[in-house]
Amino acid sequence: MGGVVGGEARVTPDLSPARLILSESTPAPQPVPSEAGGAGPVHQTPVRSAPPANAVTPRMSEQARAWTLSPPEGASTYGPRIDALLERSHVFEAGLAAVMLAWLVLAVWRFRGARPVVAANGGTRRSRAWVLGLAVCVFVGVDGTLFLGSERYARDVLWNLEVPANDPRTVRLELNAHQWSWEARYAGEDGRFGTPDDVVTWNDLRVPVGVPVWVQLVSTDVVHGFSLPAFRVKLDAIPGRVNQTWFQAAREGTFEVACYQHCGTSHYRMRGLLTVLSEADYARWLHEAGRLATQSYDADDAAAHWGWEWRAP
Amino acid sequence: MRASWVRALWTTDHKQVARQYLWGGLGFLLLGGLLALLIRWQWAWPGQPVPGLAWALPESRGALTPPTYTVLFTLHGLVMIFFAVTPLLFGALGHFVLPLAIGARGFAFPRLSAAGFWAYAVGGALVLASFAVRLGPASAGWTSYPPLATPAFTPGVGQTLMTVAILCVGVSAFSYGLNFVVTVVRCRAPGMTWGRMPLVVWGLFYGAVLNVLFVPVLAAATLLLLLDRVAGTQFFIAGAAAVGGGGDPIVYQHLFWLFGHPEVYILILPAWGMVGDFVAYFSRKPAHGYRLTAGAMGAVTAMSGLVYAHHLFTSGLSPVLGRAFMVLTLLISLPAEVMFLNWLMTLWRGSVRLTSPMLAALATMVVFGLGGITGLALGAVATDVPLHGTMWVVGHFHLTMGAASFLAVFAGLYFWFPKMYGRALHEGLAKAHVLASAVLFVGVFGGQLAAGYAGQLRRLYDPYQYTYLKHLLPLNQWTTGCAFLLGAAQLLFVGNLVWTLWRGRAAEPNPWSVGTLEWTCATSPPAPDNYATEPVVLRGPHVLSQPDVQQQLGRDWIGQAEAAVLGGTE
């Protein structure tokens, strides 16, 4: 029980309303061990105190993947639910496309230059009823599946900020998007934003594995889009408001942060790295970085103090 | 007495206005297409000099730079939507066909259609002029989201010129929208009941209604943005440390998409109408479920303004709105399915004739079907997240409002060209053009869907900056190859057009053997007043292969206004 979601087979228990109640009343899902990372093998990056700037977890069969119509390799605890839903809806869609094409080709081939069989109105009451019935069936089947799956995911994960709010281990992250970088602020060991031990990084996010990461996102210039392709996370950064979302890493490794809203000339270079560390490594890093931040804290440097009081959901 | 050049340019004859829009639209289609090819070049060979472009970009020896690239995708979108597709569908085909098809002598407001064309022309001139100004043309994306589109971040005059140009096409679209609506309501020939209108008239009518309702919303948003640009207001500038101010950028996004989503239906409704008609004409059979089809198009029209916020699923929308727009978005697929099944049922047991308009209509069906199907996942909140802002979205909407709309434009042109110019296009060239275009459209936009599913984000100057996208280079090169072939295939159309205008044989009076008014009661091209005597309509547009008609007239069609002693051929 809890938030263990590893693939389609394990989706069902997670969808029960019981889980929702659970996550509201008790401290949240347990950290998920590496098995939840999806189909591919899990890549463990060696423990480092500082990841090299360009290292991204390697993937298998690079060139071949382009032609397989597969999403970016996942690293999120909950991402597989979206992937499974997408896969299911693609099966439906492929079926629809096949029926449409087959019907069209068959009709053209079979009736090309044929003697037309014509009802005065081009159809009968019965044939029109068939059209309506068929359309309703397709609609209920295809759109219904999408709606229910989507609704469950939104209720359990996407819009359910109770999970990070109720988990004492949750990592809170303030993210300031600007042309053209991601500036991240951690509360430091005291757990409070706006204190000297706040850790600020540029294009370099670090999170512990198996722990909810709660992101509050702003922009100080234009509209940006915060996306973690490997985590199925997307959220707009819009000047004048604080948007929030959360995710949970299923495995360690280094992944990419990408901007998905056109934000000016160097939009394409608004790239950051997200390193998923073990809980111990993360704690060690935060301690060290907080110590350095406290040392170099400059109370007069107003521009460096852009954080805000954490906002409740 | 006015000078002849004034008469040639300022004309209130709807057929002449249609020809003006046709040439304008085709010109901008060429421009928009070339811009698209440059974008595709960049994704296949990033930063490599484009052969033959050194004269335009001497500093980079013809290679696209990031600022140039942002101009390319911004202009491609704006030019195609506002200056190519809508002018061709409504400006050219709509202006030409609508009054003829309902038996009218012209539009309710002939001077308004002339003024509308000139508003469009001024807008087009501003777009072209923006290439010559300092800092270049607009570059904030076709959506022109503020604050990026405000002078703090896009200071060039080009962005301002484009904002004014959008207002100009807005004036044009609103005025022909109004004109179409009033004309259909007030100017139908005697006997032309709502149930006897060709489906293309329904499509144009619904599209015109949407123009009247939603173009003003775009105009409002664009006008406020213009004020932010030139008058120092701050409607859409908020809280930003760099600029200050008290407005809200998200308001623009809502206004823009409140127009933007109906706009995609504006771009496809006339296409649906043409497909419905052509499938019936060339299956030699009345349209299956005519009323259902017209009703389904009406249902889509009615709902089109209620689904727009699926464009904003990732904007931090409240769950209440997210749910509501998810339900409404999924719901709009139901009438589309009814309509599509009706088309398929029309083919069934008909006598299918693969003429060039029919091939184009069938191709429109296929690409529109694929585009619609690939849009389903974007309508649900959860599945939208991984696909949002990726090439999947690009592939999806290009299949519907790019491939489907343009194939429908070609279907319409191949069908009505003999009526417009009195000359017959070369049928073989036309068929080759339609087939090649359809296959390559699926290739290009299918490749984009695949890249998007693999996570490639839109509007990236160099997608391969991202490690997780590096492996997509061969796929993108393949897609670019298809795009260049698609561009080359259009030479078949251009060649056919030029040859026919220059040397083409005279068109037969009713080459497609159909019964609609323009083919049965008017000359090719029609006289300035369209009809010598006002037609009195007796039956619907698709009275085909009816046994009593065949018996009495010895042919499988009968004119909508043709007097004959017949029973029960409503």
Query: Using one digit for the tens of pLDDT, what is the confidence trace for A127-157?
Result: 999 999 999 999 999 999 999 999 999 999 9
For residue B367, pLDDT over 80 is answered with yes
β-partners of residue A202 are: A183
- Place A64 in a pLDDT band, splitting at 50, 70 and 90: low
Question: How much is the pLDDT for A301?
Answer: 87
Among the partner residues A104, A235, A256, nearest to B468 by beta-carbon distance: A256
Q: Is the pLDDT of residue A2 over 70?
A: no
Considering chain B, what is the average pLDDT of its residues?
94
Q: With CB atoms and an 8 Å threshold, state whether A72 touches B140.
A: no
Q: Which of A260, A266, A269, A308 to mutate to test the interface with B (most CBs of B within 10 A)?
A: A260
Q: Is the pLDDT of residue A46 over 50?
A: no
- For B365, the token pair is 């069906």
Band (A9; pLDDT cuts 50, 70, 90)? very low
pLDDT at A45: 37
Burial of A154 (0-12, 13-18, 19+ CB in 10 A): buried
Cα distances (Å, whole numbers) of residue B330 to A138, B111, B152, B326, B379: 12, 41, 39, 6, 6
Residues of chain A positioned with their CB less than 8 A from the CB of B75: none
Nearest 5 degrees, angle CA A238-CA A243-CA A248?
130
Q: Which residues are registered as beta bridge partners of A184?
A: A175, A201
* Alpha helices, H only, A67-224: 79-111, 125-138, 144-153, 162-166
Residues, chain B, total?
570
State the nearest Cα–Cα gap between B32 and chain A, in angstroms. Answer: 20
What local confidence, expressed as pLDDT, does residue A48 receive? 38
Instruction: Give the SS3 label for residue B107.
Output: coil
Tokens in use for A171?
């990592």
Tens-place pLDDT, residues B491-520: 999 999 999 999 999 999 999 999 999 999
Sign of CA dihedral A152, A157, A158, A159: positive
Closest CB from B314, B373, B390 relative to A97: B373
Report how far residue B103's alpha carbon sits from residue B83's, in angstroms, rounded to the nearest whole number: 29
Question: B380 is written with which tokens?
Answer: 């649900």
Find, among B396, B25, B198, B366, the residue nearest to B358 by Cα.
Answer: B366
- Helix (H, G, I), strand (E, B), or coil: what is residue B263? helix
Compute the distance between CA of residue A124 and CA of residue A201 in angstroms, rounded to an integer: 69
Ramachandran bin of A274, using left for φ above 0, alpha for ψ from -120 to 50, beta for the remaining angles: beta
Q: Report the C-alpha gap between B336 and B373 in whole angstroms.
A: 11
Option in B352, B380, B461 nearest A108 (CB)? B352
**Tens digits of per-residue pLDDT, B232-254?**
888 888 754 444 556 889 999 99
- Given a contact cutoff of 8 angstroms between Cβ atoms, the answer to whether B286 and B326 are in contact is no
pLDDT band of A63, cuts 50, 70, 90: low
Tokens representing A294 are 């406290």
Residue A44: is its pLDDT beyond 80? no
HEC secondary structure over B142-155: CCCCCCCCCCCCCC
Residue B378: pLDDT over 80: yes
| Amino acid, single-letter form, for residue B333 | S
Per residue in B146-159, pLDDT (tens digit) is 999 999 899 999 99
Reduced to 3 states, what is the DSSP secondary structure of residue B246?
strand
Residue of B nearest to A116 (CA): B350
Residue B2 has pLDDT above 90, yes or no: no
pLDDT of residue B239: 52
Give the model's pLDDT for residue A32: 38
Predicted confidence (pLDDT) per residue in B37-78, tens digit = 999 999 999 999 999 999 999 999 999 999 999 999 999 999
Residues in chain B with CB shorter than 8 Å from the CB of A62 are 470-471
Predicted confidence at residue A62, as pLDDT, reads: 61
Tell whether the torsion through CA atoms of A61, A62, A64 and A65 is positive or negative: positive
Partners of B374 on chain A (C-beta within 8 Å) are 93
Q: Are B180 and B204 in contact (CB under 8 A)?
A: yes
**B446: pLDDT strictly greater than 80:** yes
* Residues B524 and B418: beta-carbon distance below 8 Å: yes
- And the tokens for A66? 């382009």
Is the predicted pLDDT of residue A170 greater than 90, yes or no? yes
Q: Closest Cα to residue A197, out of A73, A46, A97, A305?
A: A305
Residue from the list A69, A134, A158 with its beta carbon closest to the beta carbon of B381: A158
Mean pLDDT of B531-552: 92
Q: Which of residues 368-387 of B touch A (CB under 8 A)?
A: 369-370, 373-374, 376-377, 379-383, 385-387
Using the predicted structure, report yes or no on whether residue B566 has a pLDDT greater than 60. no
Query: What local confidence, expressed as pLDDT, does residue B10 receive?
Result: 87
Q: Give the domain A168-298 fold.
A: Immunoglobulin-like (2.60.40)
Amino acid at A9: A
| Residue count (chain A) | 313
Contacts of B334 in chain A (CB under 8 A): 135-136, 139, 143
Stretch 121-180 of chain B: residues touching chain A, C-beta under 8 Å: 139-141, 145, 147-148, 152-154
The arithmetic mean of pLDDT across residues B171-190, rounded, is 97
User: Does A30 have pLDDT greater than 80?
Assistant: no
Does B242 contact A at CB distance below 8 Å?
yes
Chain B positions in Cβ-Cβ contact with residue A262 (cut-off 8 Å): 70, 73, 140-141, 145, 148, 458-459
A159–B322: do the CB atoms touch at under 8 Å? yes
Judge whether residue B21 has pLDDT over 50.
Answer: yes
Cα–Cα distance, A273 to A257 (Å, whole number): 5
pLDDT above 50 (res A54): no
- Residue A231 above 90 pLDDT? yes
pLDDT grade for A41, boundaries at 50, 70 and 90: very low
Calculate the CA A166 to chain-centre distance: 20
Which of A101, A115, A268 is nearest residue B460 as measured by Cβ atoms? Answer: A268
Write the CB contacts of B327 (distance below 8 Å, at least 6 apart in sequence).
A147
- The order of strands in the sheet holding A212-219 is A199-202, A181-186, A171-178, A212-219, A243-248
Give dist(CA B288, CA B348) in Å, integer. 9
Helix (H) or strand (E) holding A202: strand A199-202
Cα separation, B161 vs B173, whole angstroms = 18
Q: What percent of chain B has pLDDT over 70?
A: 97
- 3-class secondary structure, B103: coil
CB A69 within 8 A of CB B454: yes
Query: Around Cβ B108, how many Cβ atoms within 10 Å?
Result: 18
pLDDT score of B564: 74
Domain residues of chain A, as ranges?
Answer: 168-298
User: Would an 8 Å CB–CB cutoff place B321 in contact with chain A?
Assistant: no
- Quick one: pLDDT band at residue A66, thresholds 50, 70, 90? low
Is the interface score ipTM higher than 0.95? no
